[in-house]
Structure formats: structure tokens, C-alpha cells
């Protein structure tokens, strides 16, 4: 199972936000009903808001990385100081061991180049460590040395000192391992807190973006509905004013008998002619009323079509919001499963370390008893 890193979550969030902005831009550009000529100030404001959100997210991510780098530097310094101290103690122990047990006088070939060999020359069996007490002389055999009791006591003291030293070294190693495990657990907890903070920041950012988009869509719908109502109202007022002016104007309100000509009833005065008869005017008015009704019907259909478009847009926005919430629930489920898996792995690792410590303790005890039995023989 792959572990979701904060960097991967941040990249997914940036890609989703960019994809959503691109879809919104395409809707504004390719929508022939809402596209206008000129600059889109609303889109510019949305871009500025997105840039501010992106800058805040980048700043938080950089601060998190800086804190993580400081923590890593601190751990590196502690490890380096510990390694330097261990190396110093090791060099000191080696030097003390050489000064105590590896002096030039204790070497097997020292008597071949000893400048005081003649001065140190003694009889064959005067002491156990004489220069002339060689193997070929057959003056000393196993268990027949003069200081057998002192040597045995010295060996017992030496075995006891070695055992105490081994116990001390084992206790020091155990304390160091315990400190390292505590530091590792603290580091893991700090990493978990950082991941939780980044996840909360991402959730808050997504909620802010969704709220901004929802508010923007709501304002756009309200403005569009208000603008259409005002246009329809203005058009009706203009139509009523035009009809009223035509009905009450001088051209239509004058007496049609003024156009009668003195040359005959079939002749009219051109500059006084008032138009057709009442029947013809009635037909024309009827046609005009039909046209007005047709126009009102078309306006009603246009309004219904706009309402249908708005309803579809709101449904699409709601479906996108539900899909995003479902993705968030799935991510939370994956995160809980990942935390459970990490917890089980940590428990298994602690049990394994405890078992290894018990095995090391048993082996150390067995080695101690083996060395003690060998020294006793």
C-alpha cells in the first residue's frame, strides 16, 4: 500500500483547483448567452483570490519544510555528537588496554632484543618468569608455577572485572537504544502532527473555495434574474407608452372628415388624409394585439428557458459538490486504514525488538557462565 505524502495531497489539490478554474473559464467564454465584449472583472477577482490562497498554501508548506529541516539538523547534530563521544571512549579504552596489557615487556619476542638481558639473567628456577626459564629447559610445567594461588586469585578478579565491565557496557547500550527509540517515536509523532495540520489546512482551503464558488454562482443567478426582470418591465412600459402615444397622438385623434375633398367623395386632401376606415383600423389593431400576445408568449418561453438553464447549472454544481464530498470521505477512510496499518506495524516492531533484547540477554548470560566455568577449570 502506498503512503499518501503531504506533497502528493498538495499537488492533487492544486490540479483539482486548476481544473475547476479552467471549467469555469470555458463556461464563461463559450456560453453565447452570457459572453460580453470587454474584460471579465469577476474572473480577474477570482484569479486574485486564487493567487492569494495559493500564496498562503505555499507559505504554510515552506514553513512546514523549514521546521522539518530544523528537526533533521538537530537529530543529525545529536547523532554526530554521540558518534564522536563513542569514538573518543573507544580510543581511550584501546589506549588503556594497550598501556595495561600490551606493554613491550609482555611480548613473547622481547627477550631477543632486550638491552638489559644480561643484567636480568638469573638462575633457571629462581622465578616463573625468568629470562632463562624457557620451554626447552623443562623447569616449569602447567600448574607448577610458584605463584599459583596469586595467579588464580588474579584470574578470578580479572573475570569479575570483565563481567562487571560487560554488564556496564550492556546497560549503557540499552540506555542508548532506549534514547534512540524515544527520539524516533517523538519524530514520528511530530511528522503525524505536521501531516494532520496540512490535511486540516487543505480541508479549510477547499471549504473556502467551495463557499466562494457557491456565493459567486448565487450572485450571478440573482443578478441575471434581476436584470431580466428589469428588461422585461422596461420593455412593457415602453410598449404601453408607445401604444398610449399612438392612441392619444394628434395623428390618430383628429377627425377623418377633414380629409374630404371638394372635388368628390372619392377624392381626399393628401395633407389631411387620416388613414383608413374604422374597420381597417380595427383589423390592424387586432393584428397588433396578436403580435403583442405573440411577443409576450415568446418572452414567457424565453423566461422558462432561462429558468431551465439556471436549474440545470445549479444541479450540476450540487452534483460536483456531492462528488467532492464523497472523495473526501474516501480519503479519510484511506487515511484511517493507513493509520491502523502503521499502528499494527509499530506494535509488531516493538514486540520484535523486545524479543531480540531477551535473546541478547540470554546469550550474554550464557557467555558469562561459559567464561566463568572455563576460568574455574
> What are 24-50's pLDDT values in tens digits?
888 777 776 665 555 566 777 788 898
Query: Does 203 lie in the same domain as 237?
Result: yes
Instruction: Tell whether 224 is covered by a domain.
Output: yes
Query: Does 236 lie in the same domain as 212?
Result: yes
Instruction: Write the pLDDT tens digit of every residue in 341-368.
Output: 888 888 888 888 888 888 877 666 666 5
Instruction: Tell whether 320 is covered by a domain.
Output: no
Q: What is the DSSP letter of 141?
A: -
Q: Residue 260, SS3?
A: strand
Element (H, E) at 264: strand 264-268
Place of cell 638469573: 122
Element (H, E) at 301: helix 278-376
DSSP letters for 8-37: HHHHHHHHHHHHHHHHHHHHHHH-TTT--S
CA distance 332 to 364: 48
pLDDT at 256: 64
Query: Does 238 lie in the same domain as 185?
Result: yes
Using alpha carbons only, what angle is made at residue 187 by residues 183 and 192, rounded to the nearest 5 degrees? 150
Q: Residue 183, SS3?
A: helix
Task: Give the mean pLDDT of the chain.
Answer: 81
Instruction: Write the pLDDT tens digit of every residue in 225-263.
Output: 898 999 989 888 888 888 887 776 555 656 667 666 777
Q: Say which residues have a Cβ less than 8 Å from residue 322's Cβ, sequence separation at least 6.
A: none
What number is the average pLDDT over the span 39-66? 84
- pLDDT tops 50 at residue 169: yes
Find out whether 28 and 34 touch, Cβ atoms under 8 Å. yes
Query: Does 208 lie in the same domain as 232?
Result: yes
Query: Does 239 lie in the same domain as 185?
Result: yes
pLDDT at 35: 59
Domain count, the chain: 3
pLDDT at 279: 77
337 exposure class (CB count in 10 Å sphere: 0-12, 13-18, 19+): exposed
Is the C-alpha dihedral spanning 61, 63, 69, 72 positive or negative? negative
pLDDT at 1: 45
Instruction: Tell whether 85 is covered by a domain.
Output: yes
**pLDDT band for position 295 (cuts 50, 70, 90):** very high
Query: Does 191 lie in the same domain as 235?
Result: yes
Instruction: Tell whether 232 is covered by a domain.
Output: yes
Query: Does 46 lie in the same domain as 74?
Result: yes
Place of cell 405573440: 294
Instruction: Tell whether 159 is covered by a domain.
Output: no
Query: Does 50 lie in the same domain as 12?
Result: no
Boundaries of domain holding 243: 180-247
Query: Does 52 lie in the same domain as 25?
Result: no
pLDDT at 77: 92
Instruction: Tell whether 262 is covered by a domain.
Output: no
Kind of pairing between the strands at 260-261 and 264-268: antiparallel
CB count, 10 Å around CB of 23?
11
CB count, 10 Å around CB of 264?
8
Instruction: Tell whether 225 is covered by a domain.
Output: yes
**pLDDT band for position 188 (cuts 50, 70, 90):** confident
Instruction: Tell whether 50 is covered by a domain.
Output: yes
Instruction: Write the pLDDT tens digit of every residue in 113-144.
Output: 777 777 776 655 666 666 666 677 667 777 66
pLDDT at 317: 87
Place of cell 607448577: 144
Amino acid at each position: 500500500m502506498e503512503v499518501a505524502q503531504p506533497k502528493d495531497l498538495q499537488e492533487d489539490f492544486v490540479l483539482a483547483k486548476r481544473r475547476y478554474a479552467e471549467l469555469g473559464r470555458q463556461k464563461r467564454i463559450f456560453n453565447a448567452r452570457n459572453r460580453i465584449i470587454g474584460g471579465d472583472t469577476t474572473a480577474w477577482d477570482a484569479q486574485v483570490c486564487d493567487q492569494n490562497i495559493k500564496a498562503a498554501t505555499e507559505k504554510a508548506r515552506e514553513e512546514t519544510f523549514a521546521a522539518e529541516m530544523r528537526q533533521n539538523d538537530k537529530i543529525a547534530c545529536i547523532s554526530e555528537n554521540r558518534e564522536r563521544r563513542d569514538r573518543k571512549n573507544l580510543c581511550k579504552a584501546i589506549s588503556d588496554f594497550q598501556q595495561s596489557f600490551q606493554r613491550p615487556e609482555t611480548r613473547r619476542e622481547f627477550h631477543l632484543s632486550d638491552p638489559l638481558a644480561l643484567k636480568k639473567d638469573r638462575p633457571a628456577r629462581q622465578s616463573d618468569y625468568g629470562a632463562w626459564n624457557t620451554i626447552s629447559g623443562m623447569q616449569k610445567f602447567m600448574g607448577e608455577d610458584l605463584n599459583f594461588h596469586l595467579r588464580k586469585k588474579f584470574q578470578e578478579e580479572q573475570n569479575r572485572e570483565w563481567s562487571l565491565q560487560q554488564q556496564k557496557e550492556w546497560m549503557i547500550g540499552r540506555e542508548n537504544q532506549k534514547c534512540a527509540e524515544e527520539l524516533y517515536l517523538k519524530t514520528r509523532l511530530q511528522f503525524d502532527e505536521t501531516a494532520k495540520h496540512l490535511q486540516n489546512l487543505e480541508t479549510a482551503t477547499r471549504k473556502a473555495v467551495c463557499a466562494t464558488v457557491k456565493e459567486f454562482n448565487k450572485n450571478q443567478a440573482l443578478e441575471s434574474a434581476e436584470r431580466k426582470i428589469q428588461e422585461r418591465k422596461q420593455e412593457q412600459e415602453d410598449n404601453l407608452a408607445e401604444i398610449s402615444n399612438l392612441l392619444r397622438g394628434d395623428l390618430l385623434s383628429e377627425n377623418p372628415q377633414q380629409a374630404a375633398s371638394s372635388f368628390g367623395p372619392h377624392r381626399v386632401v393628401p395633407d389631411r388624409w387620416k388613414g383608413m376606415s374604422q374597420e381597417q383600423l380595427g383589423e390592424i389593431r387586432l393584428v397588433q394585439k396578436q403580435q403583442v400576445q405573440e411577443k409576450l408568449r415568446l418572452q414567457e418561453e424565453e423566461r422558462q428557458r432561462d429558468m431551465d438553464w439556471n436549474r440545470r447549472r445549479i444541479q450540476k454544481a450540487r452534483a460536483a459538490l456531492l462528488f467532492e464530498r464523497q472523495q473526501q470521505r474516501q480519503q479519510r477512510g484511506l487515511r484511517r486504514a493507513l493509520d491502523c496499518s502503521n499502528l499494527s506495524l509499530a506494535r509488531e516492531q516493538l514486540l520484535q525488538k523486545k524479543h531480540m533484547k531477551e535473546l541478547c540477554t540470554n546469550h550474554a548470560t550464557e557467555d558469562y557462565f561459559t567464561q566463568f566455568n572455563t576460568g574455574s577449570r
